[in-house]
Structure 1
C-alpha cells in the first residue's frame, strides 16, 4: 500500500471522524437551541401570565371601583308616587342644602344630594320660599322639587272686610283659620307684642287693618294680628297719617277715630270725603255741635246698623255722641285706606248733616240747613226708612 492509499485511508477516516464530530456537535447545538427556545418561552409566558393576573385584578377592582364611583355620582333616589303625607316647613333664610337635609330626615327623599341635584337642574336652588308645604314620603327628588314650588304653599286665605269691629274680625279669623276664637281674643288683649303705634294707646280696635291675608298653618293668632297691625302701619306711612293729622290740628288717633265713623256711616266710597267734612264742621262749629252719629250709639250698645232709635240715643255711654261732645274715646270699626284718606282729605263744603235717603241704593245726601235736613228725612221715610 503506497502512501497515497494510506493518506487516502487516513483522510477518509479523518473525514469520517470529522463528520461524526460534526454530527455529534450538531446534535448538541440542536439540543441547546431547543433548550434556549424552551427558556425563551418560559421568559415570555411568565410576564404574560402576570399581566393576565394583574389585568384580572385591575379589571375586578375597576368594576367595583366603577360601582363605587357610580354610587358616588348617582345618589340614592326613590321612584314611584310615594305614600303618606308630611308637612315640611321652610324657614326664612334656609338654603337648598338645609331643606334637602330636612327632606331626607323626614323620609321624603332617599338622599339629600338627590334633592340638591334635582333642584339645581330645575334652576330653583335660590327660589325656595318660606312657608309650609304638604309632600308625600318616599318620592323622587324631582317630584319633591315640584311640590315645593311657591304656588304649592299651604296657607289660610282670610279676607277681613272694611268696617268690621274688632270682635267680628277675631271671629272671622277664628272661622277661616280653624283656631279657637279665645286665642285671638287673648292675643288682642295682650297687645304689647303687636307693634301698635304709640297713639293707639294699647288698643287694637281700629288698627287691625282690613285686607286679604295669607297665613301659614303654624302662624299663631298673635302673629296674625301683628301682621294686620303691620299692614296698618304701612298704610299710615303711605297716607302720611301723622303729618296729615298735624296739618288738620288733630292727633293721629283722632284721625283714625274719624275714619272709623266715616267707614261705618258711608254706604259708598264716593261719599266718604263729604261725611268726613260733616264731622269736621260739627267739631269746629262755635259753639261746638254734638256729632250725633248713630253708628257710635250702636257700637255702645253692641248692636249693628246706622239708625238708632230715640230711646237708644239717650243711652249713657262714652261712645254715645248724642250725649257727649267731641269724638268718642276710640275707633268703632277698623277703617280701610279709603276712609283714612277721606279723614285726611275731607271734601270742601258747609254741610252739617247727611242722610242715607235710600237704604236700598246706599245713596247719601247732604244738608247745610235744618230745612234741607228735614226734606232728606222725609225722603228717607218715603223710601222705607
Structure 2
C-alpha cells in the first residue's frame, strides 16, 4: 500500500491524463463547415460622372476707386470693411475752387442768354423793317447772322457750365459698384491727383462669387474620346458642389460659366470658371476650395464597393467573388474613378457577379463559402441546444 500522500499524486496525474485524452478527441473531430461571407451582386446602373478639381475664389466684380480731379481729401464717408452701394459717396475732396469755376460758368451762361435775347429782338425788328423796305437786305442778313452767333455763344456757355458741374461732381468720389469695400489707402488731409496710379480703396462684389478651377488637358482629351466613342453622354448641366478647405460642403451649388480656350504650357492644364451664390458672404476672394464638376453620364455602369477591391504592392487591383460552385475566386479587375464610396469598374467584372465585401480575412481562393447578400435580413437563429444530461453518480 502506498502512503496517502503518494496516492493523491497518482490520482491527480490520472485525472490530468484523462482530460488530455478528452481534449485530443475534441481536436480530432470533424472540420468546420464553409465560411460565412457577405457579398454584393453587381447590377448595371446609370451613373453621373464627376471630377473633383482644385481652385480659388475671386470676386464677381472688382472696382478700384481713384480720384478724377486733384485736391485735398476733406472727409472719408465710409467704414472700412462694410457693404457700400453703387453711387454712395466715399470721399469728399475740398471743392471750393471747383464751385467757383462752376459759378463763373453759370455767369457766362447768363451773359450769353442776355446777348442772345438782344440779338433776337434786333433781328425781329430789322426783319419787320425789311418787309416794308425800310432797311436794306444787307442789314437784315447781318441781323440774322448776329442772332445765330449769339445763340451759338449761348450753347457754348451752357456746355462750359455742364463741364464745370461735372468737374465739381468729381470732387465727390462715389462707389462705382455695390459690394464690400476694403481698407482705405488715404486719410483726411491727404493730397490726391487725377487718375493717379494708386487706388484709394477697392470694392469687391462677393454675391455671386467666382471659383476659378484648373483641369488637366489630358483628362479633357480622354473625356472627348469616350464621348466620341459613345461610352459616355455629355452632361454639362449638373450643379457644381463646392467643398470648403475643412472638407465641408458649401450650402449653395454653382454653375459652370465657361472654360478657357487655351492650355497653359507650363502646367498642361486649362481654366474653368464657376459662378456660385454667396448671400452669407462665407466665400471670400483668394480662398482655396475644391469643386465637384459633372463631366458626363454613363449608362449600364458597374460600381463595386471599395471594401471589395484589393491592391497588390505593384498597384494591380483585384476582387474576390463567389463563383457558380459557391467557391471563392480571385478576379483581376480594372477601375477608373470613385463614385461616392464605390469604384467605377472598367473591366474584369460583369453584371451578376457576387463580389465579397465582408469576411475576406477568413477565406482564400477555392474555399467553399456561404454567401449572404449585403443588406439582406439575417436568417432565423438556430434553436438553442438541449440541456446537458445530469452528471452520473
TM-score interval w.r.t. the shorter chain? under 0.3
Compare relative contact order (CA 8 Å, sep 6+) and give the higher one, 1 or 2: 2
Bigger CA radius of gyration: 1
TM-score (norm 2): 0.22
